[in-house]
Amino acid sequence: MRHQSYIFVLGCMIFMFSTFSSPLKAQTKPNVSNISQERKKEIDSIIQAFAAVNKFNGTALVHYQNKTIFEKSYGWQNAEKKIPNQDKSVYQIASLTKSFTALTIVKLSEEGKLSFKDPISKFIPDYPRGKEITIEHLLTHSSGIYEALRNKEYFRLLHTGETITQSKELSFFKNEPLDFEPGTQFSYTNSGYILLGIIIEKVTGLSYEDAVRKIILNPLKMTHTGFDYLALKSPYKTVPYSYISKTKQDKTEIWNPTLTGPAGQIYSTAEDLYKYYKGLRDYTIVSKESFKKATTPYLSGYAYGWFVDDLYGKKLINHGGNIEGSTSYFAMLPDEDLCIILLNNITSKKLEKAGNTILAAILRQPYTLPQPKKEVTLSTDLFKKYVGNYALSDDHIVHILNENGQLFIQNDNDPKVRMLAEKKDVFFLQDDDMEISFTFKKGEKDVIMIKKGLSSKTAEKL
């Protein structure tokens, strides 16, 4: 899309009004203060629209052209104790951690301690096919290494506080066959960044955490950023929720930091991430040349720990993070000196959308706001095909019921909840983020899919 710079247009107006005299008193310089206030109101209205559909509960910070133009918090840090989110609130940043891991690797490359083309066998000698997989493949998700999250035991342990050894963690993916030949495709995988953490430790002689502190956090004075959210003691620590509204709050467990590690264990604040942005912008940690290489896409728009896109003709460097109960989005347009930082303590798949809507508003591009889901009326004749029992597992049955022309869902022996039709074969629940959809194929069993937060489960009709 063609980029239309509001600041450029405004600058031209100021130039014309100050250069050419006019007898018309109405032709005065624009009030920059009013423009700034209008922009703040617009950003606030965008976030309020996402909050209204229960997709924003956290802190937002916007930097534009050498100053913070917006910083505000929304919703609850701790709903049970009625503690609101605030500028100092601490959030898990999930996969945004990958940018820190990658930046540490880039710094070590600058120091001549490793090369992006080094095979990982140089640092992890016994890794299968390690001579064919390079550090660059790990950085760019092009290694073909099996995703650890696909392992059921790994996923189960994520929801525990059990300390997992490095060798145990590697066992979840190390001996699985590659999904494709290294360097030929893109496939996002946390496993590759777990390996990068091991390489950082081998090269520096430090723990992953201490290496990142030494190379990034300490130089940038990011004093409210750390690694073990489970152990964190802070009055500003946010409680993670899978869903939150004015009438309902569903708390969720903190993911096991010994498993998320270099792929997703960091926690931070909006103010600390603002320091991170300035450190990247000013080349405090790595040189301009190194940062340019780190933000040059390798395959499918992914560079070294960053997604890189074109937005209105400008280079957009960004990364998000999404785990149960915590979401982050960090986006920067270097040519505009524009940065968006969004942190939430809810599971939200809309945070990137919220951030890009704010970017559109600042750059004076069209955008749309989210709307609450609306119930549509379906013919009750359709209900017959939905009704029945569906087996999520041997001991977990979902019941779909038709009572007096209304559909209900019931998990095992839990209370039944009314289903509202969004469209044919797709339903939602009032004051909940659950989505229920049905698939019917001739000659095959009917299937129900239940989505809630990051979880997605399918079941066949009995």
Which of these, 193, 263, 266, lies nearest to 230 by C-alpha position?
A: 266
Q: H or E segment at 260?
A: helix 257-264
Q: Are 267 and 91 in contact (CB under 8 A)?
A: yes
Q: What is the mean pLDDT of residues 294-298?
A: 96
DSSP 388: E
pLDDT tens for 301-333 read 999 999 999 999 999 999 999 999 999 999 999
Distance CA 283, CA 104 (A): 13
What was the pLDDT predicted at 158?
92
pLDDT exceeds 90 at position 408: yes
pLDDT exceeds 70 at position 235: yes
pLDDT exceeds 80 at position 4: no
pLDDT tens for 206-215 read 999 999 999 9
| Stated length of the chain | 462
- Domains of the chain in start order, with CATH, are 64-362 (3.40.710.10), 380-461 (2.40.128)
Global pTM value = 0.85
Q: H or E segment at 157?
A: helix 152-158
pLDDT band per the 50, 70, 90 thresholds, residue 414 = confident
**Residue-wise burial string across 64-82, b where 16 or more C-beta atoms lie within 10 A, e elsewhere:** beeeeebbbbbbbbbbeee
pLDDT band per the 50, 70, 90 thresholds, residue 143 = very high
